[in-house]
Amino acid sequence: MRLDLSLASLRQRYLSAGLTPAALVDELHAHMLAEDALVDRHIWIHRLSLEAMQAYASALEGRDPASLPLYGIPFAIKDNIDLAGVPTTAACPDYAYTPTHSATVVQRLIDAGAIPVGKTNLDQFATGLVGVRSPFGACRNAFDPDYVSGGSSAGSAVSVALGLASFSLGTDTAGSGRVPAGFNNLIGLKPSVGRIPTTGVVPACRTLDVVSIFALTAADAASVLAVAQGVDGKDAFAHPMAPYGVNFGATPTFRFGVPRAQDLEFYGNDEGLPQFQAAVAMLTALGGTAVEVDLTPFRAVATLLYEGPWVAERYAAIRPFIEAHPEALHPVTRAITEKAIHISAPDTFAALYRLKDLELQTRPVWNTIDCMVVPTACSPYTIAAVQADPIRLNSNLGHYTNFVNLLDLSALAVPTGFMHSGMPCGVTLIAPCGQDFPLLSLAAKLHAGAVATVGATPHAPHKNGAVPDAALFPSGLVQVAVCGAHLSGLPLNHQLTQRGGRLVRAVGSAPVYKFYALPGGPPHRPGMVRVKEGGAAIAMEIWELPAREFGSFVAGIGAPLGIGTVLLEDGGKVQGFVCEAIAAEGAADITHHGGWRAYLAAPK
């Protein structure tokens, strides 16, 4: 039986003292050896020895498992990301160097208790979406070794899918963190550019690169992202993320963009369209409303990726090496990268201007939808097919991915089913920069209803860890409970809506309040006073508004009303309108009405 390496499962075992990191490492090492004996999938460029993994496990001895968010969690690292003391090759042996320090993201994970297990295979210098452009061998799919793993983060995806790591780090410049996820039944998060610092990462295109996360569930990916994110003062492209605002992934209704029929392309895969339509139906069943989107400007952006300055940027990333050792590169990688020699400065600026024009065309789309859904990849290909036609088939795999990085969007690959061949398929959810957490929240719901198992393992998503933890990511919103003239449709509701307020839900208070119609006006104002006995539940609404607007909203509240902690009927608490007890003297007791609307509607 393969290990259940989901974060929730391991954490539960650690907290109950049913497992130790040292025992996990022993068991995982044995599993790796058994997997090697079955099929050489060319997953690893450097797998850590049992002794090396045990050294990381030993560092956790005596620590409380609850004190570290990733205590004893094994993870794999794409071999263009530094791990101290282990060579970084970027899948080019002549390029190899041994770093003395780990990449910022890797060190953060280790400090949080995670245990590195090895460096994974990739398309050389992260150039490719197939996973076959490596002198260390073509990485083989977790479900069928005749098929490509997807790339460039090939081994990172396969290691997690086969239960050799709980999560892994990849990179994503044009889809490298999404295509392998789609082909291996995994969650693949391409975070917003700058959310995770790339210090210690071999660049492909520094302006587009992100460190991506492969995980078994959306909740696992969110837990890893929470540790990995944040500026480090060294990466000039890293920056703090603005709060995400409304979590559309957790609201009862949302709007999602769907490509027009004429924009959908599956390159001969007859199962592509029905599989995609099934995923759209799943999103609709979750409360989504599909909105047709014209992909024309997005596809125009995608065509820029391998025609202009971003090819030159790939060349610039390894310029001294490629000019000194051109023969060291994989033939396909070299052919693509050396195109940069023919790109002039005027060509570069023309492409940058074109990108800005296209970005302007795409911007209005986000005014009408919360997110967009597209197929993750058109079709899985065999290794033999890709080796026979390496450029065209690789290009096909980027049909729905290439525009995302250029437009600085957040994206998340989600498994949604399997084809008749047994190969996985899925969709990618896309949203504006900074919307990573809402995407993870929506993905969790979609994933839970779409597939029964995670990766190529027999394990179902862990029930106790299925929902990403909202406490890990600030929304930038505050909630306030209203019980009077600020209710929907009543005279003062505009004080909320004009500040960007949004109705969350109707609720009842705990049955510990007296409700009064205070003198003054007209109209009278309601006052809720907490009492020791004789109280009742009062009907309220919870509204959400940006924190920056909360101060001005509160400033407009006149005595004897104010904002305090209101107890809810479900046992929760929220900030809301309360009244000074002294104001109830002489006020009309309207508690029996149960709410302000009922009071207003009652005969006077």
What is the sign, positive or negative, of the torsion defined by CA atoms of 88, 94, 100, 101? negative
Quote the CA–CA distance of 158 and 214 in Å, as a whole number: 10
The DSSP string of 54-93 is HHHHHTTTT--GGGSTTTT-EEEEETTB-BTTB-B-TT-G
Query: In sequence order, which residues have a C-beta less than 8 Å from that of residue 447 and are 6 or more positions away?
Result: 187, 217, 218, 414, 415, 461
Half-sphere exposure of 189 (CA within 13 A, CB side): 37
Contact 316, 323 (CB under 8 A): no
Contact 159, 165 (CB under 8 A): yes
The partner residues of 414 in beta bridges, in order of sequence, read: 427
One-letter-per-residue 3-state SS of 579-591: ECHHHHCCCEECH
The DSSP string of 413-435 is EEEEEE-TTS-EEEEEEEEETT-
Quote the CA–CA distance of 201 and 107 in Å, as a whole number: 12
What is the sign, positive or negative, of the torsion defined by CA atoms of 248, 252, 253, 257? positive
* Number of residues that make up the chain: 604
Tokens standing for 40? 């050489």
Query: In sequence order, which residues have a C-beta less than 8 Å from that of residue 250 and are 6 or more positions away?
Result: 438, 441, 470
CB atoms within 10 A of CB 263: 16
- Give whole-number Cα distances, 57 to 23, 62, 103, 117, 164, in Å: 9, 11, 20, 11, 16
* DSSP one-letter code for 460: P
Residue 293, Cβ density class (10 Å: 0-12 exposed, 13-18 middle, ≥19 buried): buried
Residue (of 388, 582, 551, 579) closest to 478 by Cα position: 551
* DSSP one-letter code for 229: -
Q: What angle do CA 351, 354, 355 make, to 5 degrees?
A: 90
Peptide bond before residue 552 is cis, with ω within 30 degrees of 0: no
Pairing of the two strands 254-259 and 424-432? unpaired
Which residue bears the tokens 């089913």?
417
Catalytic residue list:
78, 152, 176
